[in-house]
Amino acid sequence: WMGLITIGTPGQIFYSQLDTGSSDLWVPGQQCGAACGGNHTYNPSLSSTYKAWNKNFTILYGDGTTTSGVFANDTVNIAGISITGQPFAIISSASGMSWRTNDGILGLGYQKIAQGGENPLVWSMYLAGQLTLPIFCFWFGP
C-alpha cells in the first residue's frame, strides 16, 4: 500500500510504501535514478528546512532488496500532520528496486529496529503532541 507524504518546505511529493515491518523513512535522491523505481526524487536545495545529518544509511530487507544513502532532517507531512526536523534517508543507490512504482518507504515499525536509532514518524507525531496515542490505522477511501 502507498500513502501520499510531502518532505521539505515547500513540500516535495512522494507516494511512499507504507511498511509495518520496518521503521525508516527513505526517499530516492536525484543520484539514484531508475535503480530506486518510483517517479519522484528529493532535492535538498529546494527545501528551506533541509538539514544534512552526515551519517550513512543502509538497509537490507527480507526480500533481498537493499538501499543506501545518507540521513537528513526535514519537515515531513502526512494526512495534514507535519513534523519539523524528522529524520529520513536520501537514497543514492538501490538493488532490486527498479520495478517498484513507489517513491521510497515509510517505515511504521518501532524505533528499536530503525537503522539510525531515530524516532519513526508516528512516534515523532506522538511525542510532538500531534497524536493522543502512538496508534495509527489505514483508511481506505473511494
Report percent pLDDT > 70 for the chain. Answer: 99
Q: How far apart are CA 39 and CA 103, in angstroms?
A: 6
> For the chain, which residues make up each domain, given as ranges?
2-127
CATH number of this structure's domain 2-127, picked from the four choices 3.90.1150.10, 3.40.50.2300, 2.40.70.10, 3.40.630.30: 2.40.70.10
pLDDT digits (tens, 9 = 90+) for 111-129: 899 988 899 999 999 999 9
Between 101 and 27, the more confident residue is 27
- Higher-confidence residue of 37 and 109: namely 109
Q: What are 57's strand-pairing partners?
A: 69
Scan for cell 501520499, then name that residue.
Answer: 4
Beta bridge partners of 16: 3
Residue 81, pLDDT above cutoff 80: yes
Model's pTM, two decimal places? 0.92
Alpha helices in the chain (DSSP H): 121-127
pLDDT of residue 96 exceeding 70, the answer is: yes
